Structure formats: structure tokens, C-alpha cells
Amino acid sequence: MAKFELKLPAMGEGIIEATITKWFIEEGSAIEEDHSLVEVATDKVDSEIPSPVNGILKKIVYREGEIPKVGEVIAIIETSNDIAGSETSESFETDDNDSETASGNFKKPDTEIQMPEMEYSGNITEFQSSHPARKSEYLSPFVKNLAKQRGIPISELQHIKGTGTDNRLTREDLKNYILAGRPYRFASSQLQGEIADPPQKEKSPGPGNDVGEIIEMDRVRKLIADNMLKSKKTAPHVTSFIEADVTELVNWRESIKNRFIEKEGVNLTYTALITSAVAKALKEYPKINSSVDGDKILIKKEINIGLATALTNGNLIVAVIKQADKDNLKGLASKISDLTRRARENKLLPTEIKGSTFTITNIGQYNSLTGTPIINQPEVAILAVGTIRKKPAVVNVNETLTIGIRDIVMLSLTYDHRIIDGALGGSFLNSIAQKLENFDTSEYV
């Protein structure tokens, strides 16, 4: 029997780790090639990893909720036939380096680690290593995080003998300890007067009697909550508003939309028209297409526009159109149709929700007039587009002012006041409005 190491595959540029969200197969169960084996999550995208071989799932290395890095072994599959280059002993190999050790790689010893069978009998000293218990501040953040992933409390770490400088606990020490079956796990729960775990955050008061239902946030909603809170704490938000008369644009779209579908095979949406105008405005105002790094402003080379898309489960995801300024109207319409469809089907790739430099959110689809969205960090601005409404407005007909029924849309721009002042924000917003009111239809006749 051969053993095949299933490693976390590369999932795109900039993706270095993923969270194990669900194992579809239990240890000891048979698995067929190409059948879904495990679901992993990167940011807001969930992806299924199929089994590359037929065999038995011998060992799950990373459990649900744990976070392996790309290239790390997440499971061992026992196969009946030799697979070239895959026969190996079980291992915890990784490509990253631990700053506390000469090598970040860990391999299980050739022989099984033997630890005497122990049962707590009231004498705590029989579980302790020969060195005095170390203070928690002598544990590196990496070791603390790895212990947290494995459900090992700080108090238990105090009793593991370290091989690093000044008896510090290293990655290899911790993983050897896990493979040994965590012999101090029962002792740690009996410690009295020992070094305490770090103080816990004060818990909020429990729900009162008036609460009818308690709903636990799912993983994506927790990510959204954390990101929104981080953004509000990071950037001072300011919002400017403008109305755009898009009557001519609406009439042109109505006259061409059927022919556009027949010729291009995709619907010409207002989102595509607005994205086109925004991409052109970003080229005129590159400071809007930037991010902040301390006291530095980083102007981005590419214009990558994120489109906030509501999912059927009530969550939100931002699909990214890379180099949106290089696409014509047909290209934008096709990409937007494809990305939004796959977003709602939960089929976006991790790379398709990363790298945006500016975000558009269309709140008009819910008949909202306007809004004040939160900036999608590390960007410095976000545009909200309200619903297009027919309203009476003053119009100039042959140099005569009169009242007419016009199609009006409200645009709002929320921006980071650290680097964008009202003049720049207002100028950029006005540029978008002007481009919509005088839309260049020559690129598609």
C-alpha cells in the first residue's frame, strides 16, 4: 500500500493559506478520484478540492476550522497502487520558515514517539518537564496561533520542553508534542496557582427575555463584520453626493439593448455603462485609485474595479474586473455578467475577489435613492449608485428653460479624508456624472 500526501493546492496569486471548512469524507472511508474531498475557504470564497487518487482517507492532518498554508499536507490517502512521487511517510511538511528554527519543515520521526502511559493521580510534578514553567510572553505569536488552531491552552504549553534559544518552544517542539498525544493535556486542567492564561475579553451581557431568536453569524458574515469595523476605525469617512441626468443614456440603451443581446449574447446593463464611466474618471484622477501605507500614498498601476454583489444567503461579495479601463463596452458587459452569475452560484475563484482598487455598489436595484457605503479597505473610495427615477427637472430647449420629465440618478462617493479632500472627491464625482450625461456611444454603434 502506498501513501499519497494531499497538499493544499495553489489557489491564485497572493493566496498563501486557507481555512478548512468541511471534510466530506471521514477517516477510514473510501474515496474515488475526482470526488469532492474537502471544502476550503479563502476570504469569502469557498472551494471544493477533489481527491486526485482512489483510496482510503487514512489521516486528516488539518481539521475543520484550522488554517493550513499552500503546499502543506492536509490529509494522507492510502492507495492500492504506487503513484510516482507520492509514496511517503506521514508528514507535516510546509514551505514556510519558522524564525525560531533553522528549518521551518517538520517531519514525523522515523520511529513513533513513545511516551509512557500516564493517568493523573493528583501529583502534578510527574507531568512537568525538567525546566521551570515559561511565561506566556516567551511564546512566539506563531506558536500561540498554532496552539490555538489545535485547541491547546497556554497553560498546557507551559509544560512542554523547548529546544529553542533559552528553552523557547519552537514549531517543531509543538508538533512533536501533538504527535505524542499531548501527554500534559490532563495535567494542565488541574493547575492551581500556575501561570494563568491571558486575560479573556469581557463577555457581553447575555440576551434578555425579549429576544425571540439568536442567529449565529456564519464565516462570511463574520469576515464582513470585521472588515467593516476595521475600515471605520482606519479611515475617516466623508461622503459627497451628486445628481446626474441620464435621460439620453437611458434612451440610447433602450434603443440598442435588443440588438446588443443578439450580437454580443449578453445584456447591456447600467452597471456596465457606469463601470465604463468610472474607469475613465479614474484615469483622470489617479489619486482616487490608490491606497494608504502609513504616511505614503500608493498610486496603483492598474484600474481594477470591484462590484459589490448581493448573494442569495444575504451576504455580500466583491467581484473584481481587472484592468477595467482596457475593456470596451462589450468586454465590460460580458465580464460583469459572468462574474455576477458565478458570484451568486458561489463559483468565483479566490483571485477574482482580490486586488480591487476601487469599488462600485449598486444600491438602486433595491429602489434606494442613495447611501453612504463603507470603504472597501485598502481602497480609498467607494461609489454608490442609486435607482434611476423619472423626475420633473429644468431643461434647456432651444435656449429656453422649461420643465421636463427626466431620468435622474443619485451618485454618492465615500472617500478617505486622510488623502482625499472635498475638492478632489467632488471633482471626481462630477467627472463620473458628466461622462454619464454625455456618454460616448461611438464605441458601440
Q: Is 169 within a domain?
A: no
Q: What is the pLDDT of residue 231?
A: 94
Residue pLDDT, tens place only, 365-397: 889 999 999 999 999 999 999 999 999 999 888
Picking from 133, 154, 68, the residue whose alpha carbon sits closest to that of residue 106 is 68
Confidence of residue 120 (pLDDT cuts 50, 70, 90): very low
Q: Is 392 within a domain?
A: yes
pLDDT at 99 over 50: no
The CATH number assigned to the domain holding 22 equals 2.40.50.100
Q: Is 373 within a domain?
A: yes
- Active-site residue set: 417, 421
In contact, 359 and 318? CB cutoff 8 Å? yes
Q: What is the pLDDT of residue 221?
A: 86
Q: What is the pLDDT of residue 255?
A: 94
Q: Is 113 within a domain?
A: no
Which domain-ending residue is among 55, 79, 96? 96
Confidence of residue 201 (pLDDT cuts 50, 70, 90): low
Residue pLDDT, tens place only, 346-370: 888 888 988 999 999 999 988 999 9
Confidence of residue 420 (pLDDT cuts 50, 70, 90): very high
Q: What is the pLDDT of residue 138?
A: 56
Confidence of residue 181 (pLDDT cuts 50, 70, 90): confident
Q: What share of the chain is helix, strand, coil (3-state, %, to 5)?
A: 30, 25, 45
Residue pLDDT, tens place only, 239-274: 999 999 999 999 999 999 999 999 999 999 999 999
Q: What is the pLDDT of residue 92?
A: 34
Highest mean pLDDT among 43-57, 91-105, 126-140, 389-403: 389-403
Mean pLDDT of all residues belonging to the chain: 80
Q: Is 282 within a domain?
A: yes
Confidence of residue 312 (pLDDT cuts 50, 70, 90): confident
- Residues 153-185 as b/e (b if ≥16 CB within 10 A, e otherwise) read ebbbbbbbebebeeebbbbbbbbbbebeebbbb
3-state secondary structure (DSSP) of residue 253: helix
- Of the given ranges (20-29, 152-161, 327-336, 372-381), which has the lowest mean pLDDT? 152-161
Which domain-ending residue is among 80, 96, 112? 96
Confidence of residue 85 (pLDDT cuts 50, 70, 90): very low
DSSP 254-295: HHHHHHHHHHHSS---HHHHHHHHHHHHHHH-GGGSEEEETT
d(CA 149, CA 370): 42
Q: Is 213 within a domain?
A: no
pLDDT at 195 over 70: no
When pLDDT is averaged across residues 168-197 and rounded to a whole number, the result is 63
d(CA 52, CA 76): 12
Picking from 390, 382, 439, 375, the residue whose alpha carbon sits closest to that of residue 412 is 382
Which domain-ending residue is among 96, 122, 149? 96
Q: Is 171 within a domain?
A: no
Q: What is the pLDDT of residue 108?
A: 39
- Surface-to-core class of residue 45, CB atoms within 10 Å of its CB (0-12 exposed, 13-18 middle, 19+ buried): buried
Residue pLDDT, tens place only, 35-62: 888 888 877 677 788 888 889 998 999 9
- Of the given ranges (29-33, 89-93, 321-325, 428-432), which has the lowest mean pLDDT? 89-93
- Of the given ranges (177-181, 302-306, 317-321, 345-349), which has the lowest mean pLDDT? 177-181
Alpha-carbon distances, residue 430 vs 82, 352, 417 (angstroms): 66, 29, 18
Q: What is the pLDDT of residue 271?
A: 95
Q: What is the pLDDT of residue 117?
A: 38
Place of cell 434611476: 388
Q: Is the whole-model pTM more than 0.75?
A: no
The CATH number assigned to the domain holding 397 equals 3.30.559.10
Selected residue with higher pLDDT from 67 and 46: 67
Q: Is 136 within a domain?
A: no
Residue pLDDT, tens place only, 221-239: 888 898 899 999 999 999 9
How many domains in the chain? 2
Which residues constitute the domain of residue 391?
237-443
